[in-house]
Amino acid sequence: MATALETVQEYTGHEYKYGFYTDIEAEYAPKGLDEGIIRFISAKKQEPAWLTEWRLDAYRRFQAMEQPDWQKPEVGIIDLQAISYYAAPVQKEKPKSLDEIDPEIRRTYEKLGIPIEEQKLLSGVAVDYVFDSVSVATTFKEKLKELGIVFCSISEAVQEHPELVRKYLGSVVPQGDNYFAALNSAVFTDGSFVYVPKGVRCPMELSTYFRINAAGTGQFERTLIIADEGSYVSYLEGCTAPQRDEHQLHAAVVELVTLDDAEIKYSTVQNWYPGDHEGRGGVYNFVTKRGLCRGKRSKISWTQVETGSAITWKYPSCVLQGDDSIGEFYSVAVTNNKQQADTGTKMTHIGKNTRSRIVSKGISAGRGDQTYRGLVRVLKSAEGARNHTQCDSMLIGDQCGAHTVPYIEVKNPSAKVEHEATTSKISEDQLFYCRARGVSEEDAVALVVNGFCREVMDELPMEFAVEARKLLGISLEGSVG
Amino acid sequence: MLKIENLHAEIEDVDEGEILKGLDLEVRPGEVHAIMGPNGSGKSTLAYILAGRDGYEVTEGSVTFEGEDLLEMEPEERAAAGLFLAFQYPIEIPGVANMYFLRTALNAIKKARGEPEVDAASFMRLLRAQAEIVGVRPDLLKREVNFGFSGGEKKRNEILQMAVLQPKLAILDETDSGLDIDALRTVADGVNQLRSPERGIVVITHYQRLLDYIVPDHVHVLVSGQIIRSGGKELAIELEEKGYADVLARAGVSLPEGALHAAG
């Protein structure tokens, strides 16, 4: 009879389902990074002069920085000159309607299970499709427009809503914030833009689906979401990439801004190619995500299910500036085979009576290794701030690792900060109990792990929770993922 | 339906010798068998080996279930074939709703048998009906599997699972342990509801008192890995009155000191 460990090893044979490559005519920038490339990208996108300058400013800051090395996963110095910073499917003209999209691209998304046709989509979800460096389609635009909601690619927003982009771009993650954010600010090519006007509750989930297709490129997208006073929006991003032997760099920046009484719920289901059993290939997911609760009583909630990538290195964070604002972070991270993750969050309490809640569930299998790294900072001004952090790790097998590194900085004596952490191994008893009731060993692993993650899964929008549960099962098949 | 012949077994990787030393037992449809014995006699080992738990090695003998070699089957295959073990210590699965777990189990078994799966609505009807029969409160269905359940709730939950899965052969491993008299009665009522001419039931117990409520057709005394005496329900009463010592002495078996005390 197989033990849980053997099962896990057996399942490591699982193949990455989205590893195919679409053969499509693409336009590349020459490899390498210099001011010329940045001007090239900016010109390609017909950007206004201020934005070109903004990029160049970021590039100058970037040049003065070095790749950080404080994280647990060993990254090595990434040769940024070996990357092409712009790859875009050749389109004669921008498609005027969804029907005009290149059939190859259309087929790609169909294979990924997210067809570019409104009627075929999950009801109530509008999607922006980002293919390599550019957005290729956005659905339900017209319907959203009626409510005054802007949902488009950021390139389009630069052209059509320059005042909003100029006001908020870099207002949460400044150009010089960190090495990868500075790089992104210099070379970002596309991403999504959302603006929800005052008092509007966005009636559908907004979603972006990122796909890295071309070889030798990185994806540097930029997402900016602004929820004006009293508005609400729920946003989901999903991602996949073809299976390749070299590592691919994904260095995105996501900025969220909520004004008074507004709420943004941001969910991620990340399924980048994780590399093979020996750690060859796979995406480096180095992303800066930060939300600013600028307004009073505003709320930002991050939910992430991270199953892919060779290395995940990110800390979706909240800056709680407005009084009584709320920040939440719910995370499930799975590492299998030789995947590594160093993830967590930062909650910065500035306003009075600000509250934050962190629930992190890490599952390590195979030779996976992961670290929860979190910072809870209560500034002097944050009278009555409260935080509750819960970090649970589950180990499957005996070759994986889990680490918890919480940092807590409190400058206001009225603050209450709580931290709980547990580490457990998936138990043979639990698996046997399920099997004795007729559930196969692989389903038993998925069942127990889903139970372990339930608090986080419950936070996902309904439409995606089912998918995410399946994905967890599959990831655990492949290295318990 | 269940035929155990000359079963010898030991715990894997532990040099403690055999736990079961040539055990024979046959259960036919409709029969209720009670296996009684002092601590360490091999009762739970027998239950676990029948359900297919890891960590035991069968060194000799055979077990067939409806003519199939049971020992060759994975635990989930045994469940699909109609075998059910009510655990002495039911396992907690945090985060998994009791009813979701049970539906997953039922559908896994149905799938393995090539039967259509049960949709959520019909399952809820089935579950509610069975919960009422075995005396499980509706709120228990929504809670996480065995998580934070009292001892009695856990045991009742096992009986509920049995009622939903409708096994051909149910093995109840010390289902009475840790129950007060009221809980014992509810659990026994639940089991009695499931008695049928098609179903075999094996009740493993330490004490006779459960057998006041679940009246067995056959009683076996298991000592040191062997059944030393078998009889009808009156054997249980004799055990209760005279204690294991007398039965053992008559069978010519002596036990290490302390074992009898534990046998109560």
Looking at the partner chain, which of A430, A436, A453 has a beta carbon nearest the beta carbon of B93? Answer: A430
Confidence of residue A212 (pLDDT cuts 50, 70, 90): low
How confident is the model at residue A306, as a pLDDT? 83
Confidence of residue A297 (pLDDT cuts 50, 70, 90): very high
Helix (H, G, I), strand (E, B) or coil at A72: coil
How confident is the model at residue A442, as a pLDDT? 85
B96·A436 Cβ contact <8 A: no
A438·B112 Cβ contact <8 A: yes
Residue A77 at interface with chain B, using a CB cutoff of 8 Å: no
* pLDDT higher than threshold 80 for residue A94: no
Token pair 């960190």 is at which residue? A178
Work out the average pLDDT over A255-268.
95
How confident is the model at residue A3, as a pLDDT? 41
Question: How far apart are the CA of B205 and the nearest CA of chain A, in angstroms?
Answer: 20
- Chain A CB contacts of B108 below 8 Å: 437-440, 443
A433·B93 Cβ contact <8 A: yes
Q: Which residue(s) pair with A303 in the sheet? A: A267, A330
Residue A433 at interface with chain B, using a CB cutoff of 8 Å: yes
A433·B91 Cβ contact <8 A: yes
How confident is the model at residue A463, as a pLDDT? 65
Question: How far apart are the CA of B252 and the nearest CA of chain A, in angstroms?
Answer: 37
- Chain A CB contacts of B112 below 8 Å: 438
- Chain B CB contacts of A428 below 8 Å: 54
How confident is the model at residue A135, as a pLDDT? 60
How confident is the model at residue B262, as a pLDDT? 42
Looking at the partner chain, which of A428, A430, A448 has a beta carbon nearest the beta carbon of B54? Answer: A428
Work out the average pLDDT over A141-161.
88
Confidence of residue A245 (pLDDT cuts 50, 70, 90): low
Helix (H, G, I), strand (E, B) or coil at B49: helix
Taking a C-beta distance cutoff of 8 angstroms, is the pair A359, A419 a contact?
Answer: no
Which residue of B58, B85, B96, B103 is the best one to mutate when testing the A interface, meaning the one whose CB has the most A CBs within 10 A?
Answer: B96
Give the whole-angstrom CA distance, residue B25 versus residue B64.
Answer: 11
Confidence of residue A192 (pLDDT cuts 50, 70, 90): confident
Count the alpha carbons within 13 Å of A119 in the hemisphere toward its beta carbon. 1
Q: Mind giving me the DSSP string for A122-158?
A: PTTEEEEEEETTEEEEESSHHHHHHTT-EEEEHHHHH
If one compares A235 and A480, the residue with the highest pLDDT of the two is A235
Express each pLDDT in A448-471 by its tens digit: 988 988 888 888 777 677 777 777
pLDDT in tens, chain B (264 residues): 999 999 999 998 877 789 999 999 999 999 999 999 888 899 999 999 999 999 999 999 999 999 999 999 999 999 999 999 999 999 999 999 999 999 999 999 999 999 999 999 999 999 999 998 888 888 999 999 999 998 889 999 999 999 999 999 999 999 888 788 888 888 898 889 889 999 999 999 988 888 989 999 999 999 989 999 999 999 988 888 887 777 777 777 666 555 554 443
- Chain A CB contacts of B53 below 8 Å: 432, 436
Confidence of residue A259 (pLDDT cuts 50, 70, 90): very high
How confident is the model at residue A264, as a pLDDT? 97
Closest CA to B162 of B153, B172, B176: B172
Confidence of residue A386 (pLDDT cuts 50, 70, 90): very high
Question: How far apart are the CA of B44 and the nearest CA of chain A, in angstroms?
Answer: 15
Chain A residue with the nearest C-alpha to that of B147 = A451
* pLDDT higher than threshold 50 for residue A1: no
Which residue of A10, A429, A434 is the best one to mutate when testing the B interface, meaning the one whose CB has the most B CBs within 10 A?
Answer: A434
Which residue of A5, A437, A448, A457 is the best one to mutate when testing the B interface, meaning the one whose CB has the most B CBs within 10 A?
Answer: A437
Looking at the partner chain, which of B76, B91, B112 has a beta carbon nearest the beta carbon of A429? Answer: B91
Residue A450 at interface with chain B, using a CB cutoff of 8 Å: yes
Which residues from B are below 8 Å from A when comparing CB atoms? 51-54, 74-76, 78-80, 84-85, 87, 90-96, 101-102, 104-106, 108-109, 112, 144-145, 161, 165
Looking at the partner chain, which of B94, B95, B109 has a beta carbon nearest the beta carbon of A438? Answer: B109
B75·A3 Cβ contact <8 A: no
DSSP-derived secondary structure letter, B224: T
A438·B105 Cβ contact <8 A: yes
N-term to C-term CA, chain A: 22
Q: Mind giving me the DSSP string for A441-465?
A: HHHHHHHHHHHHTHHHHTTS-HHHH
- Output the average pLDDT for chain A: 81
Q: And the tokens for B234?
A: 């009156």
Residue A435 at interface with chain B, using a CB cutoff of 8 Å: yes
Give the whole-angstrom CA distance, residue B264 versus residue A413.
Answer: 59
Express each pLDDT in A14-58 by its tens digit: 456 665 666 656 666 777 888 888 898 888 888 999 999 999 999
Confidence of residue A120 (pLDDT cuts 50, 70, 90): very low
How confident is the model at residue A127, as a pLDDT? 66
Chain B residue with the nearest C-alpha to that of A441 = B76
Give residues with Cβ within 8 angstroms of B215, minimum separation 6: B32, B233
Confidence of residue A238 (pLDDT cuts 50, 70, 90): confident
Express each pLDDT in A334-357 by its tens digit: 887 788 888 899 999 999 999 999
Strand locations in A245-382 (E)? 247-250, 253-258, 263-270, 282-293, 299-306, 311-314, 317-320, 326-335, 340-343, 346-349, 355-364, 369-378
Token pair 């409806």 is at which residue? B66
Looking at the partner chain, which of B75, B92, B102 has a beta carbon nearest the beta carbon of A436? Answer: B75
DSSP-derived secondary structure letter, A84: B
A435·B74 Cβ contact <8 A: yes
A435·B52 Cβ contact <8 A: yes
* pLDDT higher than threshold 70 for residue A233: yes
Give the whole-angstrom CA distance, residue B61 versus residue B59.
Answer: 7
If one compares A115 and A390, the residue with the highest pLDDT of the two is A390
Question: How far apart are the CA of A449 and the nearest CA of chain B, in angstroms?
Answer: 9
